[in-house]
Amino acid sequence: MGNIIPPWMVVLGVMLGPSLLIIIGYRRRPFRWRLSLLVATVVAGLWAAALIFPRWNNDVKTHLPDLLDGLVLWLIGCVFLAPIPLLVGWWGSGFRWHWKTLSIKQRIWLVAISLIIFWFLILPPASYEGLITLVVALGIMTFMISPKKDKGDYAKKDEIDYLAGRHHLEEIQETMGNSKQGEATSGIWCGRALTVVQDTDDEPLRGDIHVSMDDRAVVIGPPGTGKTAFLIEQLLRWGESGRSFVCLDIKPEIYGITQTFLEKQGYALFTYNPTTRTGQKYNMLADLDSPESVGELASALIPSEDPRDTVFTESARDFLDAIISHLAAGGTPSLPLVRALVADCHDHHELMDLLLSSPDPDAREIASGLMLIAKNDRLLGSIFATFRANLRFLRYPAIRESLESSDFSLSELTTGKSVGLFLQFEEAQRETTARLLSVMIVHIMRYLITHTDRPPVLCLWDEIGNAPAIPGLVEKLNTIRSRKMPTWLYWQSLEQMQRYGEKADEGANKILGACDFQATFRLNDNASAEWMSRRIGVVDRVVEKKSVSKDPTTWTNLTNLESYSTDLVQEPIIFPHELGRLKQNEFVCMYRGKAWKGEATPYFQLRPEYQNRQPAVNELRGGLY
């Protein structure tokens, strides 16, 4: 054999050993099948060699005994050397597993060697030098194309993103209506649904989503997640329709960013800022057109925070109601006039005497009732103290000045003209203006609820969690669907909603239960993330498991038994920690039983004119008055 076969051919030939071992090591086949494959391969190789190389035709009969002897030696060498590839990881989990773990270069090596396997199968080493060459070749081949070490048993779970499937985008757009970018008539823009293209490197598909103008919405996101930038884009798109809106701007910045665009759209813009003497003044009592509206305003100004204090709070509301009615009999009332009237009286007895002699019959009736309830000075003094405590914000001159008269009326929101109202209750003065902010929101919502003969008016309550509990907010959210006032509430966390309930999670359940659309940006606190994860729901995932054990029917270690199983495991659609890892401007949305992952694309990415542009300080507020 050594005389007719060059040594380099022997080396190259024996390198095919690992490839052959891989082929016969496919463990899903029985051992006899693999042995038959080996025999068939050797026989096919002998015949192929005889046919392909005519120069051997004359010598094949002469050297056939030598070839058979060499083949026997080669097979013996393979048997004794089989543990080598086993130890270095060849037998991990069969050919299929190895093929997945091979690199492109390794796959090319394997395919190239397999193509010439029929030729080199008849080139066995016939001497000890050949056996040594076989060992070296096996080592080199194993080092070159050996895959990762198999870990044996494993469990593989499907990684389908149930929040970003193509069917979500199609179903959601079909449910919510027109999704053309910039088309305000399709509703209120609520971002873009992301559709992840599975198993490819393509960019996610994006489709604009709108909800109807009858829906209420909740958006949750800590500072810096893109919540306000999302709101601004919503406002700009709404501005393209020319419809009126009311926007809470506490930073303030929304007015300064959107002013130029909205004025080009023909909007008349008003800003109410109670602490900086800028924008326009507004006397909310001038828009009260019924005794019921006065009573609701009194309830907002003097909220019931403790059921044990019901007598004091109800009586203090009656005090305010009587004073407003008394002032209305002589002209237009205002909160600064209420304070001035109280300040002119030396004590509550003098105030009661004034109301008892009022020209307004309602004021006299209320005062008489208070006198019957408060039969002693101590009780009447406690009622009066409750009244003054809730109007404490009127002690600041700037606030009184902003409320003494009106430069606009809420009726302008109902005329069909393009009117925008920005409430600039600045966060730096939050403690001072908190009560007034709560009253203003109640007042505006009540006015829009009672005046429905108008086009839709959008209400954007940014950072509403920084205000005290809005009296009757949950009840209003549950009843305004047909009032043509789409309302969006923006919160920093679920904790801010707790003030609307007495028990744990009661407030969040009430607020979210009253809103059709719910969106969550990246959450920083575990409590909110866990709560939202539970609310989004669970899904059954398919888990494939494989276990490996030695085949007891064979006498070698070359064969193993594999068992496969498939289970259904229930787990959250999105885990709490995944809500804490959402990308910037990315959020998870829910709408009437559907959930998806969306992108709240900020306005400065969609509109080139806003890139690298921030409003100047003097543009953030209205002019001085």
pTM: 0.73
Instruction: Identify the pLDDT of residue 132.
Output: 47
Query: What is the average per-residue pLDDT within 426-442?
Result: 93
Flag whether 482 is in a domain. Answer: no
Residue after which a domain boundary falls, among 151, 186, 212: 151
% of the chain exceeding 70 in pLDDT: 67
Contacting residues for 231 by C-beta, under 8 A, at least 6 apart? 219, 247, 254, 460, 462, 488, 490
> Is residue 311 situated within a structural domain?
yes
pLDDT in tens, 65-113: 555 555 555 555 454 444 444 444 444 444 444 555 556 766 666 666 5
Domain boundary at 118, 151, 184, which? 151
37 in a domain, yes or no?
Answer: yes
Return all residues near 219 (Cβ < 8 A) that are at least 6 apart: 227, 230, 231, 488, 489, 490, 491, 518, 519, 520, 521, 587
> Residue 489 belongs to what H/E stretch?
strand 487-491
pLDDT band at 184 (very low <50, low <70, confident <90, very high): very low
**Of 116-120, 209-213, 617-621, the least confident:** 116-120
pLDDT score for 492: 94
- What pLDDT, on the 0 to 100 scale, is given for residue 520? 95
Indicate the number of domains in the chain.
2
Report for 115-119, 281-285, 345-349: range of highest mean pLDDT: 281-285
Taking CA atoms, 264 is separated from 184, 249, 268, in Å, by 17, 20, 10
Whether 515 shows a pLDDT value over 70: the answer reads yes
Q: Which domain holds residue 319?
A: 283-398
Among residues 96, 126, 151, the one where a domain terminates is 151
- pLDDT by residue (tens digit) across 302-339? 988 777 888 889 999 999 999 999 999 988 999 999 99
Question: pLDDT value at position 153?
Answer: 63
Q: Is the pLDDT of residue 238 over 60?
A: yes
Query: What separation in angstroms does the CA of 459 have from each of 257, 441, 501, 550?
Result: 18, 10, 23, 69
Summarize pLDDT for 152-162 with one digit per residue, the tens.
566 677 677 77
CA distance 369 to 190: 51
Residues constituting the chain:
625
93 within domain boundaries: yes
Q: Say if CB 162 and CB 588 are below 8 A apart.
A: no
* Residue 421 belongs to a domain: no
Domain membership of residue 424 (yes or no) is no
C-alpha triplet 374, 377, 379: angle, nearest 5°: 50
Bridge partners of 245, per DSSP, are 420, 458
- Assess if residue 419 is contained within a domain: no
Return the amino acid letter for 429. Q
Instruction: Establish if 138 belongs to a structural domain.
Output: yes
Instruction: Report CA 540 to chain centroid distance, whole Å.
Output: 21
